């Protein structure tokens, strides 16, 4: 399946309509917030909430990239393999970019299970290590329950605590919420990125990211 059929890069922040009550509920589930005013939220406000997920880089970075991704997606794997390492070296480690991962689990139950497993690993401070293990995994049953649990043990996590977390389904609503809010924001393919609000869909090369990031860095000065 081609998940890169609608690649595009906008300019400026998205002008999405006000989100409905369903959208607000999705934000609550995804962001873990407990109280929201009973009023519509604009796209910028939702993106600000989504920017509180698993993160790489400085909190003070002038540019925030939010990735909506699926661990089964071949284009997401391509981004992880080819582009993310260069972004880390040039922008994330130098304090210019803050990189956030959010789930867009759209490729079936294995995607949802993998997303929940990553969040369970995050409870033990190993979200990114588990994220990398998922993308590095190969084979037809890479996201089978026993394999997901073995990755946790391979990373030195508390296996019993991880198993309990995964078996309980405690992150089901969170994964569903993030996927729903990604859809509401216009993430119609994986991966989808919001670079200070600029939407970019697909596994673009590093140079495409460089152009948008550098533009955002200029405007942030």
Q: Which residue has the higher pLDDT, 203 or 35?
A: 203
Residue of 111 and 188 predicted with greater confidence: 111
In whole angstroms, what is the distance from residue 153 CA to residue 155 CA? 5
Burial of residue 27 (CB within 10 Å: 0-12, 13-18, 19+) is buried
For residue 17, give every residue at least 6 positions away whose Cβ sits within 8 Å of its Cβ, in sequence order, or none: none
DSSP E strands in 91-212: the ranges are: 97-103, 192-195, 198-201
Query: What tokens were used for 64?
Result: 């925030």
19: pLDDT strictly greater than 60: no
Does residue 11 lie in a domain region?
Answer: no
Q: Which of 33-42, 170-179, 181-190 shows the lowest per-residue confidence on average (mean pLDDT)? A: 33-42
Q: Which domain holds residue 47?
A: 21-219
Residue 17 has pLDDT above 80, yes or no: no
The mean of the pLDDT values for the chain is: 85
Taking the C-alpha atoms of residue 208 and residue 206, their distance in angstroms, rounded to an integer, is 5
pTM of the model: 0.82
pLDDT in the model for residue 42: 78
Residue 2 within a domain? no
Domain contains 28:
yes
Instruction: Give residue-wise pLDDT tens across range 47-62.
Output: 888 888 899 999 999 9
> Where residue 8 falls among pLDDT bands split at 50, 70, 90?
very low
Q: Strand (E) positions, 70-174?
A: 97-103
**149 and 159 Cβ atoms separated by less than 8 Å:** yes
d(CA 133, CA 89): 20
Instruction: Compute CA distances 186 → 3, 78, 93, 132, whole Å.
Output: 14, 21, 29, 26
The answer to whether residue 10 sits within a structural domain is: no
Say what the pLDDT of residue 179 is.
93
The answer as to whether 12 is a domain residue is no
Does 34 reside within a domain?
A: yes
Cα three-residue angle 40-44-50, rounded to 5 degrees: 95
Query: Residue range 180-196: average pLDDT?
Result: 93
Residue 40, pLDDT score: 61
pLDDT of 33: 40
pLDDT at 81 over 70: yes
Residue in 61, 23, 77 with CA at minimum distance from that of residue 196: 61
The reply to whether 44 falls in a domain is: yes
Domain assignment present for residue 99? The answer is: yes
Q: How many domains are contained in the chain? A: 1
Give the pLDDT of residue 140: 72
The pLDDT tens digits of the residues spanning 117-153 come to 999 999 999 999 999 999 999 777 899 999 999 999 9
Q: Look at residue 100 and give its three-state secondary structure.
A: strand
Kindly report the CATH number assigned to the domain that includes residue 122.
Answer: 3.40.30.10
pLDDT tens digits along 24-46 = 444 545 444 433 344 466 788 88
């Amino acid at each position: 399946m081609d998940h890169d059929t609608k690649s595009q890069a906008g300019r400026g922040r998205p002008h999405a309509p006000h989100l409905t009550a369903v959208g607000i509920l999705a934000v609550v589930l995804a962001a873990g917030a407990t109280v929201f005013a009973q009023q519509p939220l604009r796209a910028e406000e939702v993106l600000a909430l989504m920017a509180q997920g698993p993160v790489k880089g400085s909190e003070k970075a002038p540019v925030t990239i939010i990735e909506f991704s699926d661990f089964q997606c071949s284009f997401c794997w391509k981004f992880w393999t080819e582009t993310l390492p260069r972004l880390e070296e040039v922008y994330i480690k130098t304090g210019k970019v803050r990189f956030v991962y959010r789930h867009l689990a759209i490729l079936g139950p294995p995607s949802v299970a993998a997303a929940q497993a990553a969040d369970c690993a995050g409870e033990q401070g190993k979200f990114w290590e588990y994220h990398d293990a998922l993308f590095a995994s190969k084979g037809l049953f890479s996201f089978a329950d026993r394999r997901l649990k073995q990755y946790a043990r391979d990373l030195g996590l508390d296996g019993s605590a991880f198993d309990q977390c995964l078996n309980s389904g405690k992150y089901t609503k969170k994964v569903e919420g993030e996927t729903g809010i990604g859809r509401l924001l216009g993430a119609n393919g994986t991966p989808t990125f919001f670079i200070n609000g600029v939407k970019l869909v697909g596994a673009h090369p590093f140079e495409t990211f460089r152009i948008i990031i550098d533009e955002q860095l200029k405007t942030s000065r």
